[in-house]
């Protein structure tokens, strides 16, 4: 067993590609399982926020459920109850809740 480890070390020291290969492999795995899915998720969220329209029922990052009554460049106005409107930043809108209803 020790002889095998010594042989592998000798081969790795002789070939510079073998010493860099594990680092490249770790980076590739990291990119494939962490960076790529996160960038896909961010792209979907950006697209969702661009497609917001009046009347959509949404939830904010703070957990506030509401219906969009007005949309501006960087903010939206939500009606959270009859006669109660709040203005939130567009980046706080997280999800479309038209399919799901909040539990009371």
CB 69 within 8 A of CB 85: yes
| pLDDT value at residue 7 | 56
Write out the two tokens for 16: 């510079």
Which tens digits make up the pLDDT trace of 25-34?
Answer: 888 898 889 8
Fold of domain 53-96: SH3 type barrels. (2.30.30)
Distance of alpha carbon 68 from alpha carbon 73, whole angstroms = 14
Write out the two tokens for 40: 């896909």
User: Any idea where the domains of the chain sit in the sequence?
Assistant: 2-48, 53-96
| pLDDT value at residue 20 | 79
């Amino acid at each position: 067993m020790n002889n095998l480890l010594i042989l592998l070390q000798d081969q790795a020291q002789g070939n510079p590609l073998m010493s860099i290969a594990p680092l490249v492999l770790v980076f590739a795995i990291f990119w494939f399982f962490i960076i790529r899915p996160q960038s896909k998720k961010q792209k979907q969220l950006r697209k969702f926020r661009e497609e917001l329209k009046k009347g959509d029922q949404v939830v904010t990052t703070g957990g506030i459920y509401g219906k969009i009554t007005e949309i501006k460049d960087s903010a939206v106005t939500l009606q959270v109850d009859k006669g109660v409107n709040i203005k939130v930043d567009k980046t706080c809108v997280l999800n479309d809740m038209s399919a799901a209803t909040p539990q009371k």
